[in-house]
A and B are shown apart, each in its own frame.
Chain A
Amino acid sequence: MTRINVTVDGVSNADDVEPRMLLVHYLREVVGKVGTVVGCDTSNCGACTVHLDGRSVKSCNVLAVQADGHEVTTIEGLATNGELHPMQTAFHENHALQCGYCTPGMIMQAVDLLRENPDPTEEEIRVGLEGNLCRCTGYHNIVKAVAAAAGSMSSERSNA
């Protein structure tokens, strides 16, 4: 067992974990963040995407011990003060989800995409989501939602 300190969605945690424990299992089974899910075992699907120190990672591809001393944001920590993140709103408004299983990872990656590129073209959105698989939507409305979120976030910034 190795002692780790990880801040998850703003709450600091100190836990003893087996070094082999994956970050996604730590989040789901130890911290109780079951909003983050596992969709594959080869790191292709991106369903487990979270932010580690503000950058998107596949939490199945990080050991919990590697997150020691770092900060994790999951889908459950994205809304602030009961207000949905603009990306969450955009997914709802644009019907960018059906079964919703890929959604947590898709939203977390989409947020990261706009962090790196606040005004992406359709092509840049599509390429920026290449690490996230969705089987329901055909991606059409996901791409639309990310573009919509980019628009609403940029108008928020210019109003601020």
Chain B
Amino acid sequence: MTAVDDRPTTEVGKDRRRKEDQRLITGRTRWTDNIQLPGMLHLAMVRSPFAHAKILSIGTDEAKAAPGVHAVFTGADLADSQGVNINAWPITPDQVTPTHLPVPSERVAHTGEIVAVVVARSAALARDAAELVDVDYEELPAVLDLKEAMKDEVLAHPDAGTNKSAFWQLDSKAAGTGGDVEEAIAKARQDGIVIEREYRQQRLVPAFMEPRSTVVDPTGEQVVIWSATQVPHILRFAIAATMGIPESKVRVIAPDVGGGFGGKLQTTPEEFATIAIARKLGKPCKYTETRSETMVSAHHGRDQWQKMTLAAEKDGTVTALKVDLLADLGAYVAIVGGGVPVLGAWMFNSIYKFPAYQFNCQTVLTNKTWVDAYRGAGRPEATYAIERIMDELAAEVGVDPIAIREKNWITHDEFPFTTVAGMTYDSGNYEAATAKALELFGYDELRAEQKRRRESGDTVQLGLGVSTFTEMCGLAPSRVLGSLSYGAGGWESASIRMLATGTVEVVSGATPHGQGHETAWSQIVADRLGIPFENVEVLHGDTQIAPKGLDTYGSRSLVVGGEALVRAADKVIEKAKPIAAHLLEASVDDLEFEAGQFTVKGTDKGIGITDIALATFAAHNLPDGVEPSIDADATFDPVDFSFPHGTHLCAMEVDTETGQSTMRKYVCVDDIGTIINPLIVEGQIHGGLVQGIAQALWEGAEYDEQGTLVSGSFVDYTLPTAADTINYVSEHTVSPSTTNTLGTKGVGEAGTIASTPAVVNAIVDALRPMGIDDIQMPCTPERVWKAIRTAGAQQDKAPTADAQAHFGEGAPNQDPAAGTTDGAAQ
């Protein structure tokens, strides 16, 4: 356990305006697609229109003869040089992992896979010629539905013999972290409550605003790759590991990157193909995708079926939770792949003290676009299901959703708390966050209004949704990753270079794509070294400048990379100390360091750290045996995760005539430990909230029966606009993390993790008196209206005892004496 450093801060906690902004608001940006190199050629991809097909032949003659065309490559042409897309986290030793070639030559397994690449003098000519490539396909049966895929009747990859990729389980009894789930459920069926629900996590598209782009310059000693990626360091590793290029010959640069949200943590077929072709031709090459290409080829997120069995005593005290997940991986196991749903294993139990727990996860291959991390990655899915079913328990017991949570959550005096899933939560105060949220929300007044509207039969009904969440962030302690067979560590690196003229270069291995690292890192270093914020320059995103790093995802940058920074700064001070003592003619033991000055205790003698940097640069007068440098590097490997939490409250108005749901109010109180920059934190929360709200209300990647992505453009994949959203009330409580000295916890994913169930809980809350207990996401007006219509029709009939769906055939769903027979058919 790390003690939080209590040195005084002047920069940390300040709402500094971002250093990054100046370029971005004036258009002086460095997006990958801006890059023009002499003699550069442009690539256009020929992509499969079929979900599953054999490639019989590819006619390239006409395309090759087209104006400006330098070459046309098929998978066969690239076979020996194109590398392979890797899966870094085989969740089981026997995981079925189909080979994922960037350009396959024999068979395509999803719509949008690349079958040929045209290289021409301009992007327009490349696109013209791509239309002339004649591919002869033999369509194969495609498996598109997750549950159908489980039957193994149609195979996504016939050679694999099955669509089941891997099965992963966490059982609290086996792990020694809790009791026997089946026993607890059986007992609850006798004398308690058992709630069984199946929730759908629809498939989402990360939809970063900058389409992906890659430029490769093979003309120098090194191959230089610019790419719109979250993970330049991981990309460099993957290139070296799979393409036969020595790592030292590969330089990857992520210049300005226009958003990622997990969507750019992939190493992609497009990157590999561009590198392979640039090297073959010996010419710089660029590939920039269109948005339509992004939609079908960049990885998707979520896509799970979640079976939940919650056992409780009659008073609502939960006794067990069993989770059975089906997770669609799409056509290939992506870089994190099955690891994404598995991350939910430690999160379904959330903030609660469940005595028994079991998590079962089956990953499945289908003929759809591959699936991987999207903001929250595994944690939003888990939070959604548990927060939805806790509301169902509240309804069953007949208490307020807040009360059921209070009854089951970990109280503030129980931290650090080891959960039934085996995680140790560092700190938190759920009571405080909830109390603050309820007050800001005006919960009681809104409940009173809800009652009035119900009684008057208002066309527009009001619903209140609660979501109390926690998440694990700061991926990740390397030993934990090792125990899970993840293919890399979870450390982060930082270097501090003390320049002679008083400014400081900070090199970070965490590569931002909109998060504001340059500003926050400057604040941390300014405080630690006692130098002006303006004098800190943060460098990142180029493997030649920042040679060591594991990049940005999983809310890790600050809690892992920020701590590396702190340690590097402390090393700088330690290295400067003997030099300061020497120059001040004092003993090292008599020195104090504060606000950038070394002073001799009890005297007015002192020297600034930047003066020492200059003295070290000159090196004229250093102590014997001391190297002329006070620069320092640090690599930090966290010992444990940190666990932010929060309480989110949402009020939705549901127009019962049209089914349209409109947000009325949203309040969140997040506890993310110590806040470095409140302005940046607010921004992260707002953006996170809207992505989570969008899953609840608007977004969904829908395929037709042929395996074509119907929502394949921004016309049909309905992202919200300013006109569809509201202002958010966002406040904080502060329980500093005990796993890093800054006391920080991650915030990048919090909003997305928490908001989805808050919205759906609110809609269901509005409709519950009609006998409605679920609406599948996205909660489209049509779905809401149909639920109302169906419920209305059924309300006319007499309620039946077995109205509620349950998983165990013939098993009593709950004790009829416990209360109402809740369910859609009441």
Contacts and interface: CB of A to CB of B under 8 A. Distances in A.
Given A92-B25, A97-B21, 17 more contacts: A33-B27, A34-B31, A34-B33, A36-B27, A39-B209, A41-B713, A42-B291, A97-B24, A98-B259, A98-B514, A99-B257, A126-B721, A126-B723, A134-B722, A135-B259, A138-B687, A141-B686
A130 B679 contact: no
Contacts, number: 176
Contacts of A92: 17-18, 21-22, 25
Interface in A18-57: 18, 20-21, 28, 33-42, 44-45, 47
A42 B717 CA distance: 11
A41 B123 CA distance: 15
Contacts of B483: none
Contact of A103 (B24, B207, B261, B715): B24
A41 B290 CA distance: 6
B29 A100 contact: yes
A143 B24 CA distance: 18
Contacts of B27: 33-36, 74-76, 104
Interface residues of B, number: 55
Contacts of A97: 21, 24-25
Interface string B1-30: 000000000000000011011111111110
14 contacts: A28-B34, A34-B34, A39-B209, A41-B713, A42-B715, A45-B714, A92-B17, A92-B18, A98-B516, A133-B719, A138-B725, A140-B725, A141-B682, A143-B722
B629 interface: no
Given A74-B27, A135-B691, A136-B683, A101 B259 contact: yes
Interface string A114-147: 0000000010011101111111111111110000
A85 B751 CA distance: 32
Contacts of B684: 98
Contact of B209 (A18, A84, A127, A134): A134
A41 to B, nearest CB: 5
A78 B25 CA distance: 10
Interface of B: 17-18, 20-29, 31, 33-34, 124, 207-211, 256-259, 261, 290-292, 513-516, 679-680, 682-684, 686-691, 713-715, 719, 721-723, 725, 727-728, 751
Contacts of B728: 138, 140
Contact of B124 (A18, A74, A78, A79): A18
Contacts of A100: 20-21, 23-25, 29, 256, 258, 514
A59 interface: no
A138 B689 contact: yes
Contacts of B256: 99-100
A132 B29 contact: no
Interface string A62-88: 000000000000111011000010001
A98 B687 contact: yes
A101 B209 contact: yes
Given A92-B22, A95-B682, A136 B719 contact: no
Contact of A37 (B20, B31, B714, B721): B31
Given A92-B17, A103-B25, A139-B725, A133 B714 contact: yes
Main secondary structure, interface of A, reads loop
A47 B7 CA distance: 44
Contacts of A88: 25-26
Nearest to A88: B25
B26 A75 contact: yes
Interface of A: 18, 20-21, 28, 33-42, 44-45, 47, 74-76, 78-79, 84, 88, 91-93, 95, 97-104, 107, 122, 125-127, 129-143
A44 B687 contact: no
Contacts of B124: 18, 20-21
Nearest to A35: B27
Contacts of B679: 95
Contacts of B722: 125-127, 129-130, 132, 134, 139, 142-143
Contacts of B210: 37, 39, 99, 101
Q: Which 9 A-B pairs have the closest CB atoms?
A: A35-B27, A99-B514, A101-B258, A100-B24, A138-B690, A138-B686, A44-B714, A75-B27, A98-B514
Nearest to B688: A138
Contact of A35 (B29, B208, B209, B257): B29
A135 B719 contact: yes
Given A76-B26, A84-B25, A139 B721 contact: yes
Nearest to A22: B124
